[in-house]
Structure 1
């Protein structure tokens, strides 16, 4: 579904998804606008990046491979967290449980001496864990 919302004051959506030439609906009604905004927020919260390549570890992987996957998993969680994704969205994107994601984030916080997610992202960036090491 295509939807454009302007400053919580108006929204535009096509009348038919298969025929854009059929026209669009302009919504000014505050009740309908609130519903459309809630729908958008709900869909956005569950969204995952298209470029993310996540592959579950094979059950026959060696201990060394599993340690590498754990490091890779932590890095993926950190990257998604620093992009502003919530725990539930990160869990869906990486096919993990929410609790596993929270455990990784807590461990990162302890390791970095950070108390907030924002501090974790800042300190991880300073350590070069997000792919752009500080020079």
Structure 2
């Protein structure tokens, strides 16, 4: 894993942005007291104390008595703890979803199973998804992952039109989505520029679209789609509520793919912004160069220019500068 991956992965594993900044500062400059951290990072002493306490609780810092320095410790144990928590949370969300449906099915209080869930396969899946999305009135939430069934185009004019009409979109993209050729430039970034709120995770548990809290379409991600090429359309029920909770859990864990209203004095080019977004998502160098349509040599020239602008000695410091200055 590259140093650029670290900041994003720690947030995915549950650390707050402030805790990540504190941890990065300690790795960069060595042990520091609560007061020194507050002064260096321009935060309140209470914020520094809370962030350090989170890192201590996660096993990444050694506990420090009053007025003594916090010191990073070997991270293996702490990372195991954070990873286990994240895996447990996602597993629990899936179990809750399954249990909610089983309880509803056994209760016999609601509509029949045929009314609760539609099972659609083959070419009809795409048409049914389009119909559902077209009917959105307030919001659309989506966990986005391959495979994609509309292979003839990468653009998404319907979403852009709905965003202009005031419909809210929140999307969590799997890393595999951004590695699809031209998908970031042709689909994702135009939607973000139109107002979509976007985050990214290394992977998402299912493909999911929720429309207005009244219907969901759920199907399998790339690894399972060849075996289970079906989409389930879920109507209002405990299962729909559980799917909504699953999305919100993934949303909280995701890393911002892009923020509007940058406060940075450095005006980034479109290529630089795409490069930083892909780096933050953990995409490898070759895939980034291919997505940007440049050679590896040109890619590294872009990287060098960004690092000079940020005053960064390595990718980790570049990631910190990009996060702190709203470059992403």
Normalising by structure 1, report the TM-score: 0.46
Higher relative contact order (Cα pairs below 8 Å, separated by 6+ residues): 2
